[in-house]
Amino acid sequence: MALTKQQTSELQKQLRSERKRILFNIEALHTEFGTSQGEESDENGLETHLGDQGTMTFLRERDLSIEEHEEQLLNEIDAALQRIKDGTYGTCEVDGTPIDFERLQALPWARTHVEHATST
């Protein structure tokens, strides 16, 4: 069954609040970065304990992968919001039939039915 206007606007609200949360997270990661990068480009860098540097690198790589993941999600959300505008939202990209409201509630940026999904 196709989505009602009310269902669509509910999902749109969900997408928007998720978008806000992600932007906030990315912002927080950037702030954290600014600090650790400043410390590392210190001219006394050679005196830094190797152990600490290893930890820093590890933390930064972890942050980067989180950020990458969040940015990917942000793209998905933007695309979903665009589909709402275009009126194509909630239609499966594989077979062109409507996606269940329950699936969209769980994953508002879903592009396909759950049975086609392998990685989402």
Structure tokens at 100: 């269940």
Cβ–Cβ under 8 Å, residues 22 and 70:
yes
Cβ–Cβ under 8 Å, residues 110 and 104:
yes
Structure tokens at 75: 């793209």
Q: Is 95 in the site for Zn ion (CB under 5 A)?
A: yes
The distance of closest approach from Cβ of residue 98 to Zn ion in the complex, given in angstroms and rounded to an integer, is: 9
Cβ–Cβ under 8 Å, residues 111 and 75:
no
- Rounded distance between C-alpha atoms, residue 120 and residue 117, angstroms: 6
When binding is defined by CB under 5 A, the residue of 22, 80, 81, 92 that contacts Zn ion is 92
With contacts defined by CB under 5 A, name the span among 24-32, 46-54, 87-95, 101-109 that binds Zn ion. Answer: 87-95
The distance of closest approach from Cβ of residue 88 to Zn ion in the complex, given in angstroms and rounded to an integer, is: 14
When binding is defined by CB under 5 A, the residue of 94, 106, 117, 120 that contacts Zn ion is 94
Q: Is 117 in the site for Zn ion (CB under 5 A)?
A: no
Residues lying near Zn ion in the complex (CB under 5 A)? 92, 94-95, 113
